[in-house]
């Protein structure tokens, strides 16, 4: 691959996942990733701080979810606002084109305890961001926290099911189904 080709960030992420699957996360270096992508090591560091950030660096998920919650109609309940966020994730983040990449990413994370911990921390941060977005809409603090926990649980479970390559359902359908089950369990949130 020529160094001038576009999408260096995506190429680096693809190369990293390939190498993590072949060699394991611990036995893959930044130089290995850059070389596999046909790029210089310095290019890697223009896009990522370290190899862990290849898996966790982008914050598009949080941004999309929080923006959609903030833009939900004023009369929307907290979970209805979260549902708007889930719709945005379905359209803009968890697209069909990203499904295979997500499945491979998930496999790497599940094979490495330190990465599992980082994924859990990312989930906690996402929940806190959702709670803040709901509170900014005027939702009382406790209700915002509960709705954020339930909403991000739906996001997480839907992601796990969607990134299973044996599952053919779309992310949005899965997330809406799970969110519906959550709503049935706690109808006043």
8-52: CATH number: 1.10.10.60
Predicted TM-score (pTM) of the model is 0.84
Condensed to tens digits (0 to 9), the pLDDT of residues 7-19 reads 888 899 999 999 9
Class of domain 58-185 (CATH, top level): mainly alpha
Tokens, residue 118: 């980082």
Condensed to tens digits (0 to 9), the pLDDT of residues 56-111 reads 876 788 999 999 999 999 999 999 999 999 999 888 888 888 888 889 999 999 99
Q: How far is CA 148 from each of CA 96, 107, 167, rounded to the nearest angstrom?
A: 26, 26, 26
Tokens 């109609």: give the residue: 73
pLDDT at 28: 96
Indicate where the chain has its CATH 1.10.357.10 domain(s). 58-185
Condensed to tens digits (0 to 9), the pLDDT of residues 44-60 reads 999 999 999 988 876 78
Enumerate residues 6+ apart whose C-beta is below 8 A from 31: 41
Q: How far is CA 144 from each of CA 78, 94, 129, 189, rounded to the nearest angstrom?
A: 7, 24, 10, 9
Rounded distance, CA 119 to CA 4, Å?
Answer: 32
**Other Cβ atoms closer than 10 A to 67:** 14
Indicate where the chain has its CATH 1.10.10.60 domain(s). 8-52
């Amino acid at each position: 691959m020529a160094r001038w080709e576009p999408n260096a960030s995506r190429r680096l992420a693809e190369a990293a996942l390939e190498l993590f699957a072949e060699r394991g996360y611990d036995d893959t270096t930044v130089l290995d990733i850059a070389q596999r992508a046909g790029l210089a090591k310095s290019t890697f560091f223009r896009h990522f701080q370290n190899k862990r950030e290849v898996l966790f660096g982008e914050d598009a998920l949080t941004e999309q979810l929080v923006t959609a919650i903030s833009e939900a109609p004023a009369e929307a309940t907290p979970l209805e606002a979260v549902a708007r966020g889930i719709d945005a994730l379905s359209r803009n983040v968890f697209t069909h084109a990203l499904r295979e990449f997500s499945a491979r990413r998930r496999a790497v994370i599940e094979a490495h305890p330190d990465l599992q911990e980082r994924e859990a921390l990312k989930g906690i941060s996402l929940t806190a961001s959702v709670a803040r977005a709901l509170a900014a809409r005027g939702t009382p603090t406790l209700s915002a926290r509960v709705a954020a926990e339930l909403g991000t649980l739906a996001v997480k479970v839907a992601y796990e099911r969607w990134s299973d390559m044996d599952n053919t359902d779309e992310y949005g359908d899965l997330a809406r189904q799970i969110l519906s089950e959550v709503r049935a369990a706690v109808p006043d949130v």
